[in-house]
Structure 1
Amino acid sequence: MSKTNTGEKFLGDLGYKLGPTLGEGRFSKVKAATSDKYKVPLAIKLMDRRRVTPDFLYKFLPRELSIIRKIRHPNIVHIFELIEGCDGLVCIVMEALATDLLKLVQHLGKLPCVPKARDIFGQVVAALRYLHDRDLVHRDLKCENVLLTADGHRAKLSDFSFSKEANSYSDLSTTFCGSAAYSAPEVLMGIPYNAKMADVWSLGVVLYVMVTGFMPFDDTSVRRMPQQQKKGVKYPEELPPLPEPCQALIAQLLQFSPAARPTVGQVAKNKWVKKEVCVTKPSPEISGEQ
């Protein structure tokens, strides 16, 4: 019997009915599901402990399970239940949302800066600030991991496969995590990095993608990407200029030096994010204490 069939039988005995596959990772599969217990559309992430690498089994999976047990925020995907079977099957039962940010951008080409991109971005910032305030880092922030309700008004951060605790500024990460296109230069260069500042870089890439419909850097050669990143971000010539406060924020988030980037708490206080941009004079790039 296949792993999927085994999971279906196991979950079926618990009252879950599995639907189509929503996504698939190296060691996991996410299936649509329904249950009389919760009576809302669900997504269930299935993992088999017997079919993963030792690194995933003893490091990444325990971190993910520990973190999702203790996080609750309106802009983070809600976890209803964590089920562990005696045969090694691990199932994370979560709310299902209609789409993700990447699909929305692909459908629309790009999002209007105001209010759509700003509203969604502000919600992602709120979720990331919640994590960082608790010394948790995401390490795989990208458009695909920002889920959206059907009306597009509510955004929720998902997928904590690479998340970990970062208890102090000196608690540096050494693992290459996430997608290269969203990765900070220090991550790509393989040097120990402050994961909070790497999350902030990824936040900048997400904002750039939202408002332009393009990736800020060519990721076809990961080895050459840091050279591009050091030169700074450019904008497609065919697009009309972005509002100056939005461009200024992207420039701050995509600073090559991690120390030059704002904290996510400072980003949350940015006047463009807070909808306090003054039309008569330029607003500060980043407000809040340095």
Structure 2
Amino acid sequence: MKSCAKREEDRKTFMDQVRESKENGYLLSSRKIGSGAFSKVYLGYATQEKLRQNYKLASDLRSKRHAMVAIKIISTAKAPLEYSRKFLPREIYSLNATYKHINIQLYEMYRNSRRTYLVLELASRGDLLEHINATSDRRECPGLEEEEARRLFRQIVSAVAHCHNRGIVHRDLKCENILLDERGFIKLTDFGFANRYSSKNSLMSTFCGSVPYTAPEILMSKKYNGELADLWSLGVILYAMVTGKLPFRERQPHKMIHMIKQGLSFQQPISPECQSLIQGLLQLKPGARLGLQQVATHCWMLPATSAIFQQALNATGRPPERTSRGSRQGNQSPRRPSHLLCTGRLPRPSRDGSQGPRADLCRLPPSAALARPG
């Protein structure tokens, strides 16, 4: 139970945030829709005056037929100095550099000496983790059907390609950081660990991300290529989407490395083409992983995606990367029909909030982010 003094302090802080938001053209509601180590995300509304001033915001919200936004409030006064000086500026830079993509949406930013406000597109259907678990419950079979997984994964890959083409690596790609809007489109979020790089061969050393999604080279505290680390995370996400499970589950990095070296296994029916793509991304050696061009043209991803997707992937003007021996591309056998993907049923997960069998069977657990400067 919070003390009376703490509750009063929280109330005063919130009223200050309401006032500061109103001064910038937004009505902040008391509905909290997310939180982080140094931030909280609230449902907000753009005022009519703000809509008259900001054409981009007005145009987007008009198409959605509402005035709702997500307002992320970061307490820079309470956050560690390293976060305020290092990670927050990177997050803001990354959002500003990538906001034009349909799957990444930053409307506006305002700040003062105590707080930074990021006005983001509202993703009303929650995150991908929740969607996978809810779908698993409804189907009584872990994971999404491959057809839906393909549709969502194309969007995720497109957003990541857009970031990489602008010299931004995300470094914390996971199901919790992928949101869905009311139309079922994904929105890539939480660029708190994102960083920019000047060369494709640049190496990084910051130990960051969430252990189940983190590339093995980072877990081994080696210097790493940020793009290749993101590719590993994409493989974990795709595995989670089609199986409802994480490929490797361990909290300790050294134990995780041991599991990765033992190899990947598929314990339920997944099409050979999908397995091929996952295996191509979850390669222990970073250089052996499929590149984004190879992912885009992989037989599981075909037929060709939308013009927006192709434009993002081809923005660099580089020819497609050489296909590794482990990938299967070109005109392959058709994917397995969706009705063959789940030939049996797992017991419906318990709803008592307990972990253990439920997480092991067909529910994905949330992942805690971690960071260690290097």
Aligned counterpart, 2:172: 140
Aligned counterpart, 2:79: 52
Q: 1:285 to 1:164 in 2, by over 3 A?
A: same
Q: Does 1:107 align with 2:134?
A: yes
Q: Is the 8 A contact 2:273 2:328 kept in 1?
A: no
- Residue 262 of structure 1 deviates from its aligned partner by 1.4
Q: Is the 8 A contact 2:98 2:104 kept in 1?
A: no
Alignment of 1:1-290 (within 5 A): 1-2=9-10, 3-19=13-29, 20-36=31-47, 37-38=50-51, 39-85=66-112, 87-98=113-124, 99-109=126-136, 110-113=143-146, 115-152=147-184, 154-236=185-267, 239=268, 241-275=269-303, 285-287=327-329
- Residue 235 of structure 1 deviates from its aligned partner by 1.9
Q: Identity across aligned pairs (percent)?
A: 36
Q: Considering only aligned residues, what root-mean-square deviation do their CA atoms show, in Å?
A: 1.8
One-letter code aligned to 1:127: A
SS in 1 for 2:110: strand
One-letter code aligned to 1:35: A
Q: 1:151 to 1:178 in 2, by over 3 A?
A: same
Structure possessing the higher relative contact order (Cα contacts under 8 Å, 6 or more residues apart): 2
SS in 1 for 2:302: coil
For residues 269 and 135 of structure 1, what CA distance do their matches in structure 2 show?
22
SS in 2 for 1:17: strand
SS in 2 for 1:272: coil
For residues 88 and 171 of structure 2, what CA distance do their matches in structure 1 show?
14
Which residues of structure 2 form unaligned runs of 5+? 1-8, 52-65, 137-142, 305-325, 331-374
For residues 256 and 26 of structure 1, what CA distance do their matches in structure 2 show?
31
TM-score, scaled to structure 2: 0.70
Measured against aligned partners, the alpha-carbon deviations of 1:127-155 in whole angstroms (never above 9, x if no partner) come to 11111112210001011111112242x11
For residues 188 and 111 of structure 1, what CA distance do their matches in structure 2 show?
28
Which segment drifts farther, 69-78 or 255-264? 69-78
Q: 1:263 to 1:73 in 2, by over 3 A?
A: farther
One-letter code aligned to 1:223: H
TM-score, scaled to structure 1: 0.89
User: Which of structures 1 and 2 has the bigger CA Rg?
Assistant: 2
The count of corresponding residues between Structure 1 and Structure 2 is 275
Which residues of structure 1 form unaligned runs of 5+? 277-283
- Residue 170 of structure 1 deviates from its aligned partner by 3.1
- Residue 26 of structure 1 deviates from its aligned partner by 0.9
- Residue 220 of structure 1 deviates from its aligned partner by 3.1
For residues 166 and 25 of structure 2, what CA distance do their matches in structure 1 show?
35
- Residue 265 of structure 1 deviates from its aligned partner by 2.5
Q: 1:73 to 1:117 in 2, by over 3 A?
A: farther
For residues 286 and 131 of structure 1, what CA distance do their matches in structure 2 show?
26
SS in 1 for 2:203: coil
Q: Is the 8 A contact 2:107 2:121 kept in 1?
A: yes
